[in-house]
Structure 1
Amino acid sequence: MSLVAGSFVALDYVVFALMLVASAAVGVYFAWTDRRRTSSGDFLTGGRRMTALPVSLSLTASFMSAITVLSTPAEVYLYGASIGVYAFADVLTMVITSEVFLPIFYKLSITSTYEYLEMRFSRVTRLLGTVLFIVQTILYTGIVIYAPALALNHVTGIDLWGAVISTGVVCTFYCTMGGLKAVVWTDVIQLCVMLIGFLAIIVRSVLLQGGVVAIISDCQDGGRLNFWDFDTNPLRRHTFWTLTIGGTFIWVSVYGINQAQVQRYISCKSLTHARLSIYINLLGLWSVLLSSVFAGMCLYSVYKNCDPWSTGLISALDQLMPYLVMDILGDYPGLPGLFVAAAYSGSLSTVSSSINALAAVTVEDLIRPYTSLSEKHLSCISKGMTFFYGVLCIGMAGLASFMGGILQAAVSIFGIIGGPLLGLFALGILCPCANSKGAVSGLVSGLVVSLWVGIGAHIYPPPPELSRPLPLNTDGCNFTTTSTLNWTSTALPTQPNSTLNIPIHDGGRPMLEDLYSLSYLYFGPVGTMITISVGLVVSVLTGGCKLKVEPRLLLKKEDTTFYYFIKLFKCRVEKRSGQLDLKKDREKKFGNSNPAFSDFELTKSSVTL
């Protein structure tokens, strides 16, 4: 059974409401301060006057949704802290984004990422990329709104549709009123709320369990500190290699080419600020990752002897964190509300970024090229499209409520689509011989293969030994039939067993069993590689080698910071080598009879040079 409704008290609702009010106030503020700026560029990209720090925090918050707040600790609880290896993927992602994609998009001064595809290939390629982005983003955004609301409703008793509609309305309001500036600054507020929410849980758990060392010891004894699994088997769900390699592809498809992220760093007032925002964002990502992983370790330490899932106290893994919050923070009015505010801050940051990005690509890719409207009219249309997509995403949340088990598949498909799109952009930026025929052929091929493998893996889940959860224990439960609901004294469970049952497809497995059993983190790399490979082959066969491409559309060594670092290093080496040669010449001329004199001459000559 789950917790009864009404677990929230008045102060919890006040804390939750304050977060919504603060977000709405930011939208009103920027709507007032920018009331005289009427161009669509001011609304969609902040007039390209943003600085590194707020943009970096917004980059971090944009895809740290409530799914992250709820699912990552549950992942650590069930499978161990190996997901912390994502930290290495984050580093590679920021380097690739900064050195490969940022220079191209920033120097072109484009609002929509997909505008590049028309410059490099054709309008058909641009429209194809735009449509794929719109479809996946609307679907994902609806899920981001609904899925955490469902988990929190079951455990905290907060009204499901009241929370869904209130967060959707507030998000749509400040996006429509304040544009990108409002989105960025509300992301900053929401990221801080997320981290404070995690901190409240961690501090209380540490005090309850007797210190950080005790929590780490519990996780060590339970096999949860499984960071360094170097098994190269690509069928294993999580290993060092799947998390690092697969994670890098997934996050590069987010940071490198996703409109929501690109729109942020190209809003910076200089390329230096844009690069700084990406690297400062890395610290934010590590903070969220560390907080969520350690929160998962706290979760395991508290329930190491009495698993609430196996005993039937909760019905889904995403309810673990809300259950913990109500269990250990329920006696502190306001703190459960702070956690719910943290979870919904994740949703708001993701949804607002998505709505703003959807409005941008619609105006820039589907309206501006086919009309001759003034900037004032385009600005009004941008606000209208922001409002439209906000309403559509709320409606998508309603549709998600009827999708049941398809939710997980939909989230997987969102990741799968990113791989082929990443391959398409990489083809354009890194391969001078790629042409439009190769680009379209590669994108379609990569998308078909990715969807085929992803859907096949959903229909035919991998064998249990490839993704077996770690042991869970119920031996320490002390159940009574009282009305108090916590882990030492709860209503009698309906499933009193410690064995975790995961449904497996009972039918015969197909011939492509290994392909369907591939780690889900490798779906993105598969789509990227297929897109690039097919795109190159088709381009070469259709005369791509004779293609003349504008230099500004291709990555050049001068666009990267590595080039200047290497150049600086070579200059210093050459200077040092020249000084040594000069010193040898002086020694031959004057000998070693008067070293002080020769050193003086060397210094004098160096200054003259």
Structure 2
Amino acid sequence: MDDSSLLADYMVFVLLICLSIGVGVWTKFSGPKERTKADYVFAASSSVSVGAMMLSIARGFLGVRVFLGYPSELFYRGSAMWETLYGMIIAFPLVCFFFVPVYYSLGITSVYQYLDLRFKSRLVRCLASGTYVFRSLLNLGVTVFTPCVALKTVIGLPYWASICSIVAISIVFILMGGLRTAIIADIVQLLVMLGCTVVIIFQGLISGGGLFNVINTNYEYGRLDFFNFDLNPTIRVTTISAIVGQLFMSLSIFGCQQNFVQRYCSMESQSKVTKTLIGNIPVMTILFSICWFMGMVIFTNYAECDPKKLGYISDIDEILPFYVEDKFYFLPGFLGLVMASLFNGALSLLVSNLNSLATVMWEDFVSQLPPMKGLRDSHQLIVIKILGSLCALLIMGIAFIVAHLSGVIESSMLMTSATSGPLLGVFLLAMFFPVDFFIPILV
């Protein structure tokens, strides 16, 4: 990469980061002022449209690891994980018609408040919310670190600079705005990432010989592995395991996780929530699938020359940044745009989750401390913002730890899977079984 191209990439990168900060500032001063906790947590002073909420919910699931991970998964392992989409599609109507009516009718702030009301046990509520806080902190630490690898490899930005920048900007967002700011950040970042993906796909189709050649090449090399109903448990992923596993994972994420439930409860009516979730089925199908298709076009271009085997990359998740650097040399600044998209992807996901983390910590823990009882609404809002900022600093520390350890990403994914099942089980037991005694829940 010559100096002029590198300079263009840096300029585009910095420009897009400044644009992201500008979105937060614009949201702060252009919209209704957030004077109360409800304004901050639920965007109560402004109306959020169905379309905006659909994109925000989709962005909440399709993070940086999806943008980097799905193309590399298809390139090196095939399309088996693509079929997790089926489980997600099944989960949306179930969440819409069974989970949402319960939360919406109760008007709860923390989703774990429902467990307290249902079992009359604050212990169950605290254990569930504590599990959510712990796994969210770990996962967000990994999320912040994920784009830093590509940023260091491609444009030479040190880990510490990337991590500190993401966290510092997220604190600015937390202090300036609540859910409304998070939703707008989600939408802007999703559109930028979608634009980058479409450009990469079109260029890949042209250099890869067209759509039919892309499909044929992936089929011939065994990358298209659909409808495998083999019951052999030693197979890494089959259609059945993909559907069942993702169904329960999606129910846990979309039905029992604070950042999504908070969005449902912020909408003006339950009918709007229904439209949002059902409308998300085609939206998620398209957004989910184009990341996999991007992997197909990348594979077509490198079918006979694996960059990892040739030593051009050291990790499979570097395949997308390498492809952009290799194939878009003729378009100065595009690599910077993709890198900024990764940076902002981690940023918007962090901002969205910090809002929810701070809300849960306040509602389920801090508000019960003697000095905090009886605080005025405006003072509660200040405390929530402080909690969000402290969580951001803690996540920064976790990201630095992740940078110096191996196997943390896999461990965080295992912990997410291990905790999602029990949490979902508690909510299913609460909603569908007449159990009042909380001891079985703890077991």
Q: Please indicate the TM-score interval, normalised by the length of the shorter structure.
A: over 0.9
Structure 1 residues 360-399: aligned runs within 5 Å: 360-370=359-369, 371-399=373-401
Aligned-residue offset at 1:156: 4.0
Pairing 1:38–2:40 present: no
Q: 1:463 matched to which residue of 2? A: none
Question: In structure 2, how many angstroms separate the alpha carbons of the residues matched to 1:349 and 1:35?
Answer: 21
Q: 2:272 matched to which residue of 1? A: 273
RMSD: 1.9
Question: In structure 1, how many angstroms separate the alpha carbons of the residues matched to 2:306 and 2:155?
Answer: 18
Report SS of the residue matched to 2:311: coil
Q: Share of identical aligned residues, percent?
A: 28
| 2:27 alignment partner AA | F
| 1:14 alignment partner AA | M
Structure 1 residues 19-34: aligned runs within 5 Å: 19-33=16-30
Pairing 1:344–2:343 present: yes
Q: 2:93 matched to which residue of 1? A: 95
Within the candidate set 47, 50, 64, 2:48 is matched to: 50
- In 2 relative to 1, CA 208–158 (structure 1 residues): closer, same or farther, beyond 3 Å? farther
- In 2 relative to 1, CA 63–6 (structure 1 residues): closer, same or farther, beyond 3 Å? farther
Structure 1 residues 409-424: aligned runs within 5 Å: 409-424=411-426
Within the candidate set 404, 407, 410, 1:408 is matched to: 410
Aligned-residue offset at 1:294: 0.6
Question: In structure 1, how many angstroms separate the alpha carbons of the residues matched to 2:387 and 2:336?
Answer: 32
Q: Deviations over 1:143-185 (max 9, x none)?
A: 0011221134224434433222222222221132111100001
Q: 1:294 matched to which residue of 2? A: 293
Within the candidate set 6, 14, 37, 1:9 is matched to: 6
Question: In structure 1, how many angstroms separate the alpha carbons of the residues matched to 2:430 and 2:405?
Answer: 37
Structure 1 residues 91-240: aligned runs within 5 Å: 91-121=89-119, 122-240=121-239
Aligned-residue offset at 1:434: 4.4
Q: 1:62 matched to which residue of 2? A: 60
- Are the equivalent residues in 1 in contact too, given 2:111–2:256 (CA < 8 A)? yes
The number of residues matched between the two structures is 438
Question: In structure 1, how many angstroms separate the alpha carbons of the residues matched to 2:354 and 2:65?
Answer: 18
Aligned-residue offset at 1:189: 0.6
- Are the equivalent residues in 2 in contact too, given 1:129–1:421 (CA < 8 A)? yes
Q: Deviations over 1:216-237 (max 9, x none)?
A: 1110110111112111223321
TM-score, scaled to structure 2: 0.94
Structure 1 residues 186-585: aligned runs within 5 Å: 186-370=185-369, 371-441=373-443
Aligned-residue offset at 1:8: 6.1
Question: In structure 2, how many angstroms separate the alpha carbons of the residues matched to 1:235 and 1:312?
Answer: 31
Question: In structure 1, how many angstroms separate the alpha carbons of the residues matched to 2:265 and 2:174?
Answer: 18
Aligned-residue offset at 1:213: 1.1
Question: In structure 1, how many angstroms separate the alpha carbons of the residues matched to 2:51 and 2:16?
Answer: 21
Question: In structure 1, how many angstroms separate the alpha carbons of the residues matched to 2:205 and 2:273?
Answer: 38
Aligned-residue offset at 1:34: 5.6
Question: In structure 2, how many angstroms separate the alpha carbons of the residues matched to 1:277 and 1:201?
Answer: 29
- Are the equivalent residues in 2 in contact too, given 1:98–1:278 (CA < 8 A)? yes
Question: In structure 2, how many angstroms separate the alpha carbons of the residues matched to 1:50 and 1:111?
Answer: 17
Question: In structure 2, how many angstroms separate the alpha carbons of the residues matched to 1:402 and 1:260?
Answer: 29
- Of the structure 1 ranges 109-118 and 409-418, higher mean CA displacement relative to structure 2 is found in 409-418
Report SS of the residue matched to 1:47: coil
Question: In structure 1, how many angstroms separate the alpha carbons of the residues matched to 2:17 and 2:94?
Answer: 35
Question: In structure 2, how many angstroms separate the alpha carbons of the residues matched to 1:85 and 1:426?
Answer: 25
- Are the equivalent residues in 2 in contact too, given 1:127–1:365 (CA < 8 A)? yes
Q: Deviations over 1:270-329 (max 9, x none)?
A: 111111121222233212211111111112111111111122221111111111110101
Q: Which has the larger radius of gyration?
A: 1
Question: In structure 2, how many angstroms separate the alpha carbons of the residues matched to 1:153 and 1:304?
Answer: 26
| 2:397 alignment partner AA | G
- Are the equivalent residues in 2 in contact too, given 1:171–1:351 (CA < 8 A)? yes
Question: In structure 2, how many angstroms separate the alpha carbons of the residues matched to 1:235 and 1:27?
Answer: 48
| 1:418 alignment partner AA | S
Aligned-residue offset at 1:204: 1.1
Aligned-residue offset at 1:381: 0.9
- Are the equivalent residues in 2 in contact too, given 1:105–1:113 (CA < 8 A)? yes
| 1:231 alignment partner AA | D
Q: Which has the higher helix share?
A: 2
- Are the equivalent residues in 2 in contact too, given 1:165–1:394 (CA < 8 A)? yes
Q: Deviations over 1:17-62 (max 9, x none)?
A: 2332232223223333466442111101111742211111110111
TM-score, scaled to structure 1: 0.69
Report SS of the residue matched to 1:27: helix
| 1:417 alignment partner AA | T
| 1:89 alignment partner AA | G
- Are the equivalent residues in 2 in contact too, given 1:44–1:179 (CA < 8 A)? yes
- Are the equivalent residues in 2 in contact too, given 1:193–1:341 (CA < 8 A)? no
Within the candidate set 68, 73, 86, 1:75 is matched to: 73
